């Protein structure tokens, strides 16, 4: 019986195929039309400095970094002699954009009357652009701020806490690196936690003059007591202890350079580690930073000149040497709290108690080891699997 049925089924199958419309066929994989589109970007100096130097606002022969906000893919482009960039092969998406135009000593001599180092033009107001295949207009990216590029960089922030240790979080730290070829002194510099509150609906990112804070600490010293030499890292730990005693997958911070000791609370003090000086902290028994999101800056400013605003202290933005923001969701840049004048993006995307750290990327710049600094933590930082106190994972 089975032998008779099989030929009948085969015949019906062939009949069905032959009776189908021959115009119906499996299509080839569709072409990605987005990647055929030629996008155009124009770089324009809005500060007036290039106009003074060269009689033009065009920002020529300058590197531009683009990073897909959803895919994380990064592109490096360079403007031509007209300050224009034409490119294709890029999908439609929201892109983080970072531009820096370094000014030479000779250019600063014309602008300021002195041969000054470490000045650059950056885009601080527009840091996110949309590239769409149906939009053929030229996208203008303005360089709107002239900043002094400090030799001191926040090189690492470890904040999430170690794995397999319950709710242990006392091993947090911030690390600072000397980017220059000269010795710099940390004495009197400030570490400031940027204040915002989603609960109370408070966010001061649009304040054009001040950083708002409820946690400000100062490095000890009288001026030249605490040098940081070229290429040197210095860690400021929440507690200068060997945290592996309490959390086996944590890290030894018993020999770091500084610790935050809160003498008006049941905090732990390692007498062998110099203490940071508390200027103001509104709450908590220890120096605390967010495990998944927060923003920190280092600044050079006289503590007696800080301004009170309700229960906050105001720090002038112009006194900030460096700053970094980190978020739990890197696609939500609209939740930023640190002004783009200091950090146009954000690093992070780390969950609590995973032991991961945020470290600035190491680069070789003209034969010298430097840390990447495009004034945008979305480009400058990378997440690593474990903390690296007072050294870099790439060294």
Q: Which two tokens stand for residue 252?
A: 């030894």
Q: 289 and 182, same structural domain?
A: yes
pLDDT value of position 285: 87
Range of the domain at 137: 33-148
Q: Report if residue 25 sits inside a domain.
A: no
What count of other Cβ atoms lies within 10 Å of the Cβ of residue 256? 23
In a domain, 179, yes or no: yes
* Mean predicted confidence (pLDDT) in 97-108: 94
Distances (CA, A) of 130 to 40, 113, 343: 12, 40, 20
| Per-residue pLDDT tens over the stretch 108-161 | 999 999 998 889 999 988 888 999 988 889 999 999 999 888 999 999 999 999
Give the contacts of 308 (CB within 8 A, at least 6 positions apart). Answer: 314
For range 372-392, the mean pLDDT: 95
Closest-CA residue to 294 (of 214, 355, 217, 236): 214
Domain count, the chain: 2
Q: Is the pLDDT of residue 29 over 60?
A: no
Mean confidence (pLDDT) of the chain: 90
- Per the CB < 8 A criterion, the answer to whether 297 and 319 are in contact is no
Pairing label, strands 93-102, 128-131: antiparallel
Any domain includes 21 = no
> What is the total residue count of the chain?
395
Q: Kindly tell me if the per-residue pLDDT of 33 is higher than 60.
A: no
135 & 186 share domain: no
Residue-wise pLDDT tens digits, 205-219: 999 999 999 999 999
Residue 74 CB coordination number (10 Å): 14
Q: What is the pLDDT of residue 387?
A: 98
Both 138 and 207 in one domain: the answer is no
> Of the segments 84-98, 234-248, 367-381, which one has the largest average pLDDT value?
234-248
Domain boundary among 148, 182, 213: 148
Reading the block at residue 55, the tokens are 């009689």
Q: How confident is the model at residue 192 (pLDDT cuts 50, 70, 90)?
A: very high
Q: Which residue has the higher pLDDT, 273 or 148?
A: 273
Give yes or no: residues 255 and 365 share one domain.
yes
- Whether 9 maps to a domain, the answer reads no
Retrieve residue 194's tokens: 């940027």
**Average pLDDT of 230-249?**
97
Tokens of 147: 């900043």
Band of pLDDT at residue 20, cut at 50, 70 and 90: very low
**Residue 366 pLDDT class (50, 70, 90 cuts):** confident
**Residue whose token pair is 């120096």:** 287
Q: Quick one: what percent of the chain has pLDDT higher than 90?
A: 78
> Which pLDDT score is estimated for 35?
66
16 occurs within a structural domain: no
356 inside domain: yes
Listed residues 102, 126, 148: the one ending a domain: 148
Q: H or E element: which one contains 233?
A: strand 233-237
Strands 227-228 and 184-185: antiparallel
Q: How far apart (Å, rounded) are the C-alpha atoms in residues 151 and 371? A: 10
Specify the higher pLDDT residue, 134 or 27. 134
Query: Which of 95, 126, 148 finishes a domain?
Result: 148
Q: What pLDDT does 136 receive?
A: 84
Q: Mean pLDDT across the stretch 75-96?
A: 94
Residues 47 and 161 in one domain: no
Given a cut of 50, whether residue 16 has pLDDT beyond it is no
Check whether residue 174 and residue 95 sit in a common domain. Answer: no
How many angstroms separate the CA atoms of 144 and 125, rounded? 7
- DSSP-assigned states of every residue in 58-102: B--S-EEEEEETTT--EEEEE--TTSEEEE-S--SEEEEEEEEEE
269 and 177 housed in the same domain? yes
What average pLDDT does this structure show over 65-69? 90
Q: Determine, yes or no, domain membership for 6.
A: no
Co-location of 157 and 71 in the same domain: no
pLDDT confidence bin for 11, thresholds 50/70/90 = very low
Amino acid 34: pLDDT:
63
Instruction: State yes or no: pLDDT of 9 exceeds 50.
Output: no
Residue whose structure tokens are 């503590």: 303
> Are 134 and 180 contained in the same domain?
no
Where are the alpha helices (H) located in the chain, listed in sequence order? 2-19, 49-54, 105-112, 377-380
**Tokens 């090189």 appear where?**
155
Please tell me whether residues 166 and 72 are part of one structural domain. Answer: no
Averaged pLDDT for residues 286-290: 94
Indicate whether 127 and 171 sit together in one domain: no
Question: What is the SS3 assignment for 327?
Answer: strand
Secondary structure tally for the chain: helices H, strands E: 4, 27
Contact 309, 284 (CB under 8 A): no
Q: Is the pLDDT of residue 13 over 90?
A: no
- What mean pLDDT do residues 54-75 have? 93
Residue 274 in contact with residue 212, Cβ under 8 Å? Answer: no
Task: Name the residue with tokens 């939500």.
Answer: 332
- In CATH, what number is assigned to the domain containing residue 140? 2.60.40.10
Please indicate whether residue 73 or residue 173 has the higher confidence score (pLDDT): 173
Q: Give the mean model confidence (pLDDT) for residues 229-256.
A: 97
pLDDT in the model for residue 8: 42
Q: Are residues 337 and 237 in the same domain?
A: yes
């Amino acid at each position: 019986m089975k032998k008779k049925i099989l030929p009948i089924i085969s015949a019906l199958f062939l009949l069905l195929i032959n009776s189908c419309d021959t115009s119906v066929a499996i299509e080839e994989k569709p072409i990605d039309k987005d990647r055929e589109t030629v996008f155009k970007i124009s770089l324009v100096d809005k500060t007036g400095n290039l106009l003074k130097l060269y009689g033009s606002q065009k920002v020529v022969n300058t590197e531009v970094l683009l990073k897909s906000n959803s895919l994380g893919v990064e592109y490096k482009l360079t403007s031509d002699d007209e300050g224009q960039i034409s490119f294709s092969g890029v999908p439609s998406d929201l892109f983080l954009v970072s531009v820096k135009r370094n000014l030479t000593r000779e250019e600063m001599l014309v602008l300021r009357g002195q041969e000054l180092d470490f000045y650059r033009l950056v885009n601080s107001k527009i840091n996110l652009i949309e590239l769409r295949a149906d939009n053929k207009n030229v996208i203008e990216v303005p360089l709107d701020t002239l900043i002094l590029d400090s030799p001191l960089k926040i090189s690492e922030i470890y904040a999430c806490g170690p794995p397999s240790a319950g709710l242990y979080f006392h091993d947090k730290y911030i690390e600072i690196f000397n980017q220059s070829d000269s010795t710099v002194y940390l004495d009197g510099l400030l570490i400031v936690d940027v204040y915002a509150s989603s609960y109370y609906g408070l966010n001061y990112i649009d304040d054009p003059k001040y950083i708002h804070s409820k946690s400000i600490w100062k490095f000890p010293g009288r001026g030249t007591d605490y040098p940081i030499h070229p290429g040197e890292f210095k860690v400021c730990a929440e507690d200068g202890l060997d945290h592996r005693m309490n959390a086996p997958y944590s890290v030894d911070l018993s020999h770091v350079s500084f610790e935050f000791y809160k003498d008006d609370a049941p905090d732990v003090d390692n007498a062998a580690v110099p203490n940071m000086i508390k200027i103001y902290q509104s709450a908590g028994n220890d120096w605390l930073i967010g495990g998944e999101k927060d923003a920190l800056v280092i600044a050079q400013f006289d503590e007696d000149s800080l301004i009170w605003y309700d229960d906050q202290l105001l720090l002038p933005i112009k006194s900030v040497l460096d700053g970094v923001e980190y978020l739990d969701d890197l696609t939500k840049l609209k939740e930023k709290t640190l002004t783009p004048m200091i950090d146009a993006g954000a690093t992070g995307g780390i969950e609590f108690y995973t032991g991961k750290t945020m470290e600035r990327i190491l680069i070789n710049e003209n034969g010298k080891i430097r840390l990447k600094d495009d004034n945008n933590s979305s480009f400058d930082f990378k997440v690593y699997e474990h903390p690296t106190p007072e050294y870099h994972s790439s060294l």
